[in-house]
Structure 1
Amino acid sequence: MINHIEKALSRETNLHTNLQFRPGDTTSNRFIEYPPHKNTTGTERPKDIPGNYRAAPNTTEGAALWRGTDDGYAKNRAIFSGHRFWMHRGFPEEFYMKESYGSNYCKYYNSDLYAIHGNGALRCDEYPFASTQEGTAKDKINYSVQAVFTSYNARHGEALQAFYSQYRLLTYGPVNTITKVSDSPFWVQIVE
């Protein structure tokens, strides 16, 4: 989990995270039923993933994360899971996974891990977190997904919810707050 987040936070390494961003790919208008091919082509580009505490504040990477709404959580998850999507499997064949909650991009990008450990042992993790306003639905390409062990993913989710609660992070909703902006930005830093 931590290695995945650390890799996603750096422009030097996030070009190798799932899913890849290549020239000609779009962001907010990207058609989610066609995830980018998983094979390395050498044309992968760095992604602009926010929430990096160590990045300059006037950059996309240094922009804050905000706690999202429950509705936003579901929208974030729907980008990479629970829907039919077409996948490359050999050439020139294509096939799709049936629409179901169990289908996700991790099973496509990390099929080798699923073959070793099985479906129940792994869960699809994403960064920025699904519980943030900046999750996968924001622009559909500047994020990372990785298959991780289910127990690690569950514990990390519990820790994130505890963080929100302990520091009383407000749900992002500028229209519904007195100041018209959310008062709870946060960033992520990986420490040794």
Structure 2
Amino acid sequence: MARHIQTAFTKPSTTVPFKTDGPKHIPGNRNAGERTPGREPLTRILSSSSRYSQNRTAKDKVCKEFFSDRPLESNGAPEDEWEECDEYPFASTKEGGAYDHPEYGKNNFSVQAVLGRHNSIAGSDLGVFFGRYRVLNGNKFWVAVR
């Protein structure tokens, strides 16, 4: 997942969904320069919110369009090869896949097919981060990738 986020930060135009109405501005990058679009913080939302569901729907739509041929149980792939779609910014943020930025518009997010077991671990790690650092609904935070 860190590799996916790093690509989203450093080469956003190479990520899906593609953006046709201007450059892609992916927020939440702690290492981005001050006063740049990438430095905008992420805002935590709860999984019970409608925005969370909308973010998941946006991710699933991109996943189906670009990664429909990924290894799955339904196409006979071995379980250790099953892939899920990872999204950044996370579905648990206001800036996730359904977000329509007032200045930069839509599609300022990235989706990548990754091994399902890795995606599950990363999701658990994000939950631990939220708990350990008490990132509550509405709190702002950034992501740093080294």
Q: Is the 8 A contact 1:69 1:133 kept in 2?
A: no
d(CA) in 2 for partners of 1:137, 1:105 = 11
- Aligned AA for 1:20? F
Q: Deviations over 1:55-77 (max 9, x none)?
A: 12322110111111221221211
Tell me the TM-score normalized by structure 2: 0.82
Bigger mean CA deviation after superposition, 54-63 or 128-137: 54-63
- Aligned AA for 2:143? V
Specify the alignment match of 2:34 in structure 1: 57
d(CA) in 2 for partners of 1:46, 1:154 = 30
d(CA) in 2 for partners of 1:61, 1:47 = 10
Say what the alpha-carbon RMSD is for the aligned residues: 1.7
Aligned mate of 1:157, from 103, 120, 123:
123
The alignment of Structure 1 onto Structure 2 pairs a total of residues equal to 132
Tell me the TM-score normalized by structure 1: 0.63
- Aligned AA for 1:21? K
Specify the alignment match of 1:141 in structure 2: 107
Moved over 3 A (4+): none
Q: Deviations over 1:145-171 (max 9, x none)?
A: 111111010000000000000011110
Structure 2 unpaired stretches of 5+: 75-81, 101-105
d(CA) in 2 for partners of 1:111, 1:190 = 28
Q: Is the 8 A contact 2:26 2:109 kept in 1?
A: yes
d(CA) in 2 for partners of 1:156, 1:73 = 17
Specify the alignment match of 1:97 in structure 2: none
Mapped pair 1:118 → 2:116: no
Q: Equivalent residues in 2 for 1:1-192 (5 A)?
A: 1-10=1-10, 13-22=11-20, 25=21, 46-70=23-47, 71=49, 72-81=51-60, 104-112=61-69, 114=70, 117-118=71-72, 121-139=82-100, 140-172=106-138, 184-191=139-146
Please say which structure displays the higher CA radius of gyration.
1
Q: Is the 8 A contact 1:53 1:187 kept in 2?
A: yes
Local SS of the residue matching 1:145: strand
d(CA) in 2 for partners of 1:20, 1:161 = 28
Kindly indicate which of the two structures has a greater share of residues assigned to helix. 2
Specify the alignment match of 1:94 in structure 2: none
For residue 111 of structure 1, report the CA deviation from its aligned partner.
Answer: 4.1
